[in-house]
Amino acid sequence: MNADKCIGSGVCALVAAAVFDQRDDDGVVVLLAEHPAEEHEEAVHEVATRCPASVIEIHRT
């Protein structure tokens, strides 16, 4: 995730609130779970494709 490029659209926090939030002062994305639970996997993939600034990346370990 490259928060420096975040435009604060809120898609991430709306679609996957258990994994992402936004800072109150500027709306920049905040990662709540670096390794989200399996039940959030579909939402995280959706966020990665819908983020208008393309700051959400999925890396498999």
Domain that holds residue 36: 3-50
pLDDT(46) > 80: yes
For residue 29, give both structure tokens: 């994305």
Give tens-digit pLDDT for 10-35: 999 999 999 999 999 999 999 999 99
The structure's pTM equals 0.88
Residue 36 forms part of a structural domain: yes
Residue 61 forms part of a structural domain: no
Q: What is the pLDDT of the chain when averaged over all its residues?
A: 92
Residue 55 forms part of a structural domain: no
Total count of domains within the chain: 1
Residue 60 forms part of a structural domain: no
CATH number, domain of 7, equals: 3.30.70.20
